[in-house]
Structure 1
């Protein structure tokens, strides 16, 4: 008879996500995961298969959560510029509060670029962010917030690239003045 799982897999993925986010994939050993999750190695392997599969679940959670928050924020916004300023400022603030951690998606893209599953997850999330930004900018143009000659897709691509660059600068310990100035400069592309 199979044993009943004695831990919450959802909570285990959450804790693994936090550990991978703090330490990175390579610096996190199976022993680290076992200690952090408080489960035996057999249970970890039975539930997740491998460190790589657990990392994939953790990265998926992070990407879904963060892209989902941006989507919800932009789709509920009455005006695009204040919504973008708030979202970009929140990202900068997160990096100022915890620069060592940075953005798990940026960390994944740089540390595990040669892993196809990681690269695919990051690319899919970037496409989702770009699409969300393009949709918000298209709605803004239709409402007259954005000049008719502005290209929402081109702006969305720029902003998607800017976000990732800003997250890298945050991890490189750029200060508040630098990050806030960068956000303001990026917003001028909407003028």
Structure 2
């Protein structure tokens, strides 16, 4: 008869997510995971696989918990939703005392180009974000909030790059004025 698990895998996964998000993949050892999760090494392997598999599961959890695009698809004026979306990115960076940044950005910088599975997850996340922004901007153009000659898809790509840059700066130097000025200038570029 198999023994039941002596830990909650869901709690352990959340704790692994927090550790990976703070330190990254390479800087987190199996010993660190054992200590942080309070779970035996053999149990980690039996439940999640190796460190890479646990990292991928933690990244998936992070993506599931991040519904930053939901407000972009709400009915009504679209530009205020885009502005609120950008402001939320800045606020999140400024509130992040640990300066963890975005786990997707951190993952891309750390090793997405060396791992096809990770790269697909990062690109899928960015594609979803770009699609949500494009949808809001198409709506904004249709509602007369931005000039008819503006390309909502090009603007969405521009804003995608902006928000990823916000996360990078937020990790290194979350200077409020720099981040807020960037959002102001982006909104000006969208509307002119």
Q: Scaled by the length of structure 2, what TM-score is found?
A: 0.92
Matched, 1:102 2:101: yes
Q: Equivalent residue for 2:139?
A: 139
Structure 2 residue runs without a partner (length 5+): none
- Do the aligned residues in 1 keep the contact of 2:79 with 2:136 (CA within 8 Å)? no
Root-mean-square deviation (Å): 1.5
Paired residues for 1:173-184 under 5 Å? 173-184=173-184
- Do the aligned residues in 2 keep the contact of 1:102 with 1:168 (CA within 8 Å)? yes
- Do the aligned residues in 2 keep the contact of 1:138 with 1:152 (CA within 8 Å)? yes
Paired residues for 1:1-191 under 5 Å? 1-66=1-66, 69-76=67-74, 78-98=76-96, 100-113=99-112, 114-191=114-191
- Report the Cα distance in structure 2 between the residues aligned to 1:104 and 1:36, rounded to whole angstroms: 18
- Report the Cα distance in structure 1 between the residues aligned to 2:150 and 2:188, rounded to whole angstroms: 12
SS in 2 for 1:70: coil
Q: Structure 1 residue runs of 4+, over 3 Å off? A: none
Using the TM superposition, give the Cα deviation of residue 189 of structure 1 relative to its aligned residue in structure 2, in angstroms.
2.2
| 1:21-80 residue CA offsets vs partner (Å, 9 max, x unmatched) | 1111111111111111111111111110111001001111212322xx222111125222
Could you say if the C-alpha distance between residues 101 and 77 of structure 1 is closer, same or farther in structure 2, counting changes exceeding 3 Å? Answer: farther
Could you say if the C-alpha distance between residues 23 and 77 of structure 1 is closer, same or farther in structure 2, counting changes exceeding 3 Å? Answer: farther
After TM superposition, the structure 1 stretch with the greater mean CA deviation from structure 2, 150-159 or 96-105, is: 96-105
Using the TM superposition, give the Cα deviation of residue 146 of structure 1 relative to its aligned residue in structure 2, in angstroms.
2.3
- Report the Cα distance in structure 1 between the residues aligned to 2:55 and 2:116, rounded to whole angstroms: 13
Report how many aligned residue pairs link the two structures. Answer: 189
- Report the Cα distance in structure 2 between the residues aligned to 1:88 and 1:49, rounded to whole angstroms: 37
Structure 1 residue runs without a partner (length 5+): none
- Report the Cα distance in structure 2 between the residues aligned to 1:187 and 1:10, rounded to whole angstroms: 40
Using the TM superposition, give the Cα deviation of residue 7 of structure 1 relative to its aligned residue in structure 2, in angstroms.
2.1
- Report the Cα distance in structure 2 between the residues aligned to 1:58 and 1:112, rounded to whole angstroms: 15
- Do the aligned residues in 2 keep the contact of 1:96 with 1:173 (CA within 8 Å)? no
